[in-house]
Amino acid sequence: LNGISFVAGGSLYVENCAINNFSQYGIDFAPTNGSGKLFVTDTLLRNNGVAATGGGLHLIATTGPGFVAAVDGLRSENNVFGLKAETQGMVTIRNSLAANNGYTGFSAVTPAGSGSLRMMIENSLSTHNGTNGVLAINLATATISNVVVTDNQIGLNASSGGMILSFGNNRVWGNATDGAPSQTIPNQ
Amino acid sequence: MSKRSLFFGLGALLAFAALAGAQPWTPLNNQPTFPAGTALLLTDGTVMVQQMTNLGFGTGQWWRLTPDTTGNYQNGTWSQLATMPAGYAPLYYASVVLADGRVVIEGGEYNFTQGSETTLGAIYNPATNAWTSIAPPSGVTKIGDASSVILANGTFMLGPCCFQTTDYLLNSSTLTWTATGSVGKADVNAEEGWTLLPNGNVLTVDTGNGTNSELYNPSTGSWSSAGSTMVQLAVGTSQYYPEIGPAVLRPDGTVFATGATSNTAIYNTAFGSWSVGPTFPNSLDIADGPAALLPNGNILVDASPGFFQTPSHFFEFNGASLIAVPDPPRAASDSSFAGRMLVLPTGQILFTDSSSDVEIYTAGGMYQSAWQPTINSFPPSVTAGTANYSLSGWQFNGLSQGAIYGDDAQSATNYPLVRINNNATGHVFYARTHDHSTMAVATGSAVVSTQFDVPAGIESGASTLQVVANGIPSPPVSISVLCSGCSAAKSWISVSGNDGNDCSQLTPCRTFSGALAKTPAGGEVDVLDSGDFGAVTINKSVSLVAARALGGIQVSSGTAITVNAGTNDKVVLRGLTSMDSAQA
């Protein structure tokens, strides 16, 4: 099933790990009480998930207050997806790579009309993914800064009210469809 | 033992399902992967057991049975110990646990498969997991199936087999011997067993001298008659030198003595006199075989017909009568001589018979409070990983040697163990004891003491401490277990480890799961070498760290690491660079 399955706990620190070939998620961070902190540093997730099921790093909190995750130095390669945050929580991603995943590289998704999700991606790369480079759906917001998005089916995909905010310093080109940020915001 | 053929039937493995109801025998849940022979209780609460061959000969291999976290031996796990010095693989030998915690093995009627009455001997240090050879006493050419006892002052006394009357005292520091002389011994040592009495004298029933019995007085170094056993106990055949059975001291100060006849005799240590005991039914006897003192004061015995015949039957001697009790599963194919008993710290009896079916006997009844050790002074707090705490009190050595086997295969347990029970978790830890002030039995009102070392892997917090002797615990005292810089909270795992180990760096565990069980909350499990350390569910704050090796978990199905912990727990997974599955 999963390389690491987080069901309950306070904090989980994953450092310098390599997690390969699981049928569902490399890391499934899914606190059943909706609360938990995840820190991922310098970790490889490869070849996780089968067909359209499973993926690299999965974050989900189906009840409040939502997960809190900080990801630095993640390489998510050739999974069903690279990193998917769902429903409720906050995730920051830095110095990371999502490459050659079957579907989306970085995905922020809530159900229609409920949930609250913020994803911040900085100094990272999303490339060669089968669908989207960066995806935001419904009440999810993905903010990107210094991110390279290239050679995906769709570069930036904000749909059903989802928002992709850009600091205007990203390089989005060479995708089948590059797409565009929902909004560009200034540096402070 | 005497020159006997070995007739362990390979095809005679009978495994009957345990009877319902009051079945006192239960098999180990983790049976050994080897035929199990003589068992000795180490002072850290683990049991060391000799590996036998499939034909019942000795090997130089020994294993350790470690109880689970609740102190349960039935759920114990096995790990292999160091091998005896090259060339030494004895069967029917002298065996003792010294007051410093080391183990002495001397002689052997057989070495490997040869009937050799070997003079080889070795001492095992559990703290270093190392054997050292012991040279025989000067001029002794046979030790063989030797009588032995630890005298009250802690000195190991050896009675070499065969046609010798001289006994030898071991200096355990220099591993050299001093002859006691042969003052007064009426017959040769052959096949005789020794029983330590409350006054420090040693009782034996002669095998070559009618119904005579003798007492050894350590203060004079001489033997003198202890009178007639009233009935004949030792008897031989044209083929065998006379055999005798075990003689066990009971809490009331009487010694229950058995032999190769169906007779039994009772020696009253208060009056120095013998009386006739009950007769075994159906021509049963104990021409070599084990007996053990139960916490209820009864003696469990293993009897069989004639010389080395099957089947065996088991009885409890209650001071007046022999009460038949259920037999263990293999009794039908065992003769009494194949059995070995050991009194566990739980008060249960570990029974081995050179098969890989190890059974535990749990007796009914209860000890009397007067039989308990009592703690007088103790440290109010102890620190994990710290050695040499002192305890003093009364009756730390119990009222008897515990289990006894006719002439050889001694497995006495008349020494204190220290058991620490964590109040919060209920987990049980044994602190290795050493340097007991006495090895006497039934020390009464004399204040005695021992030293103990608190294991590094112990859980911290409020706990209770008990002294245990012959399976009878003292009333508990409350102590506090401290964690020194929490280095104590570190466990190690290795591909060559075993989950029966303590997970120390020297004796690591094998799996994340096994180590996690022995690592307190807030601790760390460290991977020593590269390998697959198994799926694990984490239920507390802990770090699983592979900093010096490829810490791996390979699963063919399911999840590798599940975190299902408390809401304030912190879990660190570092350097696990080989978490693989073949699922995707």
% of chain A exceeding 70 in pLDDT = 100
> Does B584 touch chain A if contact means CB atoms closer than 8 Å?
yes
Q: Smallest Cα–Cα separation from B143: which of B114, B109, B176, B169?
A: B109
Q: What is the pLDDT of residues A12-54, one digit of tens each?
A: 999 999 999 999 999 999 999 999 999 999 999 999 999 999 9
Chain A residue closest in CA terms to B573:
A14
pLDDT band (50, 70, 90) for residue B163: confident
Q: Smallest Cα–Cα separation from B106: which of B79, B134, B64, B85?
A: B134
Shortest distance between the Cα of B564 and any Cα of chain A, in A, equals: 5
Q: Which residues of A touch B556 (CB under 8 A)?
A: none
Q: Which residues of A touch B559 (CB under 8 A)?
A: 1-5, 22
At B500 the pLDDT is: 79
> Does B268 touch chain A if contact means CB atoms closer than 8 Å?
no
DSSP B231: S
Enter the tokens of residue A128.
Answer: 């060669």
% of chain B exceeding 90 in pLDDT = 77
Chain B residue closest in CA terms to A52:
B584
At B13 the pLDDT is: 30
pLDDT band (50, 70, 90) for residue B518: confident
Taking residues A141-154, what's their average pLDDT?
Answer: 98
Is residue B488 pLDDT above 70, yes or no? no
- The answer to whether the CB atoms of B584 and A2 lie below 8 A apart is no
> Does B103 touch chain A if contact means CB atoms closer than 8 Å?
no
> Does B537 touch chain A if contact means CB atoms closer than 8 Å?
no
Is residue B1 pLDDT above 60, yes or no? no
CB B134 within 8 A of CB B93: no
Of A43-47, B88-92, B184-188, the least confident: B184-188
CB B291 within 8 A of CB B302: yes
Compute and round to an integer the Cα radius of gyration of chain B: 24
Is residue B486 pLDDT above 70, yes or no? no
Nearest to B584 among A5, A16, A48 (CB): A48
Shortest distance between the Cα of A87 and any Cα of chain B, in A, equals: 20
At B19 the pLDDT is: 34
% of chain B exceeding 70 in pLDDT = 95
CB B306 within 8 A of CB B333: no
Q: What is the pLDDT of residues B55-85, one digit of tens each?
A: 999 999 999 999 999 999 999 999 999 999 9
Q: Which residues of A touch B545 (CB under 8 A)?
A: none
Q: What is the pLDDT of residues B214-223, one digit of tens each?
A: 999 999 999 9
CB A26 within 8 A of CB A4: yes
pLDDT band (50, 70, 90) for residue B445: very high
Nearest to B575 among A2, A8, A16 (CB): A16
CB A26 within 8 A of CB A48: yes
Looking at per-residue pLDDT, the higher value among B502 and B521 belongs to: B521
Q: How far apart are CA B100 and CA B118, in angstroms?
A: 26
CA dihedral B491, B495, B496, B498 (to 10 degrees): 50
> Does A74 touch chain B if contact means CB atoms closer than 8 Å?
no
Burial class (CB in 10 A: 0-12, 13-18, 19+), A86: buried
Nearest to A9 among B563, B581, B584 (CB): B563
At B572 the pLDDT is: 95
Choose the mutation target among B542, B567, B569, B578 for the interface with A, i.e. most A CBs under 10 Å. Answer: B567
At B2 the pLDDT is: 52
Three-state SS for A177? Answer: strand
Q: How far apart are CA B35 and CA A60, in angstroms?
A: 53
Nearest to B569 among A1, A9, A18 (CB): A9
- The answer to whether the CB atoms of B567 and A23 lie below 8 A apart is no
Q: Smallest Cα–Cα separation from B527: which of A16, A94, A137, A160?
A: A16
Q: How far apart are CA B216 and CA B190, in angstroms?
A: 16
- The answer to whether the CB atoms of B572 and A13 lie below 8 A apart is yes
Shortest distance between the Cα of B572 and any Cα of chain A, in A, equals: 5
Q: Which residues of A touch B569 (CB under 8 A)?
A: 9-11
Three-state SS for B515? Answer: helix
At B421 the pLDDT is: 95
Is residue B14 pLDDT above 50, yes or no? no
> Does B574 touch chain A if contact means CB atoms closer than 8 Å?
yes
Q: How far apart are CA B343 and CA B291, in angstroms?
A: 10
At B341 the pLDDT is: 98
Q: Smallest Cα–Cα separation from B337: which of B401, B279, B407?
A: B407
pLDDT band (50, 70, 90) for residue B483: low
Q: Smallest Cα–Cα separation from A149: which of A82, A90, A85?
A: A82
Sort strands B273-276 and B264-268 into parallel, antiparallel or unpaired: antiparallel
Q: How far apart are CA B15 and CA B196, in angstroms?
A: 37
Token match 């079916």: residue? Answer: B357
Three-state SS for B412? Answer: strand
% of chain A exceeding 90 in pLDDT = 98
- The answer to whether the CB atoms of A10 and B576 lie below 8 A apart is no
Q: Give how far the C-alpha of residue B90 lies from the chain's centroid of Cα atoms, to the nearest Å.
A: 17
> Does A17 touch chain B if contact means CB atoms closer than 8 Å?
yes
B489-to-A173, B141, B301, B461, B505 alpha-carbon distances in Å: 52, 51, 44, 13, 12
pLDDT band (50, 70, 90) for residue B181: low
Q: Which residues, listed in sequence order, are joined to residue B258 by a DSSP beta bridge? A: B264
Q: What is the pLDDT of residues A70-105, one digit of tens each?
A: 999 999 999 999 999 999 999 999 999 999 999 999
Sort strands B411-412 and B417-422 into parallel, antiparallel or unpaired: unpaired
- The answer to whether the CB atoms of B577 and A16 lie below 8 A apart is yes
Q: Which residues, listed in sequence order, are joined to residue B448 by a DSSP beta bridge? A: B393
Nearest to A13 among B557, B567, B573 (CB): B573
At B416 the pLDDT is: 98
Supply φ then ψ for residue B482, to 5 degrees: -105, 155
> Does B568 touch chain A if contact means CB atoms closer than 8 Å?
yes
**What's the mean per-residue pLDDT of chain A?**
97
At B549 the pLDDT is: 73
At B228 the pLDDT is: 97
ipTM rounded to 2 decimals: 0.96
pLDDT band (50, 70, 90) for residue B501: confident
CA dihedral A110, A115, A116, A121 (to 10 degrees): -20
Chain B residue closest in CA terms to A36:
B567
Q: How far apart are CA A40 and CA A27, in angstroms?
A: 10
Shortest distance between the Cα of B554 and any Cα of chain A, in A, equals: 10
Looking at per-residue pLDDT, the higher value among B238 and B359 belongs to: B359
Supply φ then ψ for residue B468, to 5 degrees: -120, 130
Is residue B485 pLDDT above 60, yes or no? no
Q: Which residues of A touch B562 (CB under 8 A)?
A: 4-5, 7
Q: Which residues of B touch A50 (CB under 8 A)?
A: 583-584
Q: How far apart are CA B193 and CA B244, in angstroms?
A: 8
Taking residues B7-31, what's their average pLDDT?
Answer: 57
DSSP A97: E
Q: Smallest Cα–Cα separation from B495: which of B484, B478, B511?
A: B511
pLDDT band (50, 70, 90) for residue B360: very high
Enter the tokens of residue B53.
Answer: 């061959």
**What's the mean per-residue pLDDT of chain B?**
91
pLDDT band (50, 70, 90) for residue B521: confident
CB neighbour burial string for B14-51, b if at least 16 within 10 angstroms, e if fewer:
eeeeeeeeeebbeebebebebbbbbbbbbbbbbbbbbb
Q: Which residues, listed in sequence order, are joined to residue B393 by a DSSP beta bridge? A: B375, B448
Q: How far apart are CA B356 and CA B27, in angstroms?
A: 10
Q: Give how far the C-alpha of residue A41 lies from the chain's centroid of Cα atoms, to the nearest Å.
A: 15
> Does A184 touch chain B if contact means CB atoms closer than 8 Å?
no
At B182 the pLDDT is: 60
Q: Smallest Cα–Cα separation from A106: which of A142, A78, A70?
A: A142
Q: How far apart are CA B396 and CA B416, in angstroms?
A: 5
Chain A residue closest in CA terms to B578:
A18
DSSP string, B529-570: SSEE---EEE-SSEEEE-SSS-EEEEESSS-SEEEE--TT-E
Is residue B3 pLDDT above 90, yes or no? no
Shortest distance between the Cα of B552 and any Cα of chain A, in A, equals: 9
User: Residue B180 contacts by C-beta under 8 Å, 6 or more apart in sequence?
Assistant: B157, B166, B167, B168, B169, B216, B221
At B238 the pLDDT is: 78
Is residue B559 pLDDT above 50, yes or no? yes
At B188 the pLDDT is: 87
Shortest distance between the Cα of B536 and any Cα of chain A, in A, equals: 10
Is residue B237 pLDDT above 90, yes or no? no
- The answer to whether the CB atoms of B570 and A48 lie below 8 A apart is no
Q: How far apart are CA B241 and CA A6, in angstroms?
A: 69
Q: Which residues of B touch A1 (CB under 8 A)?
A: 557-559, 583
pLDDT band (50, 70, 90) for residue B262: very high
At B542 the pLDDT is: 93
CB neighbour burial string for A156-174, b if at least 16 within 10 angstroms, e if fewer:
bbbeeebbbbbbeebebee
Is residue B484 pLDDT above 80, yes or no? no
CB B384 within 8 A of CB B481: yes
Token match 């060559």: residue? Answer: B496
At B127 the pLDDT is: 93
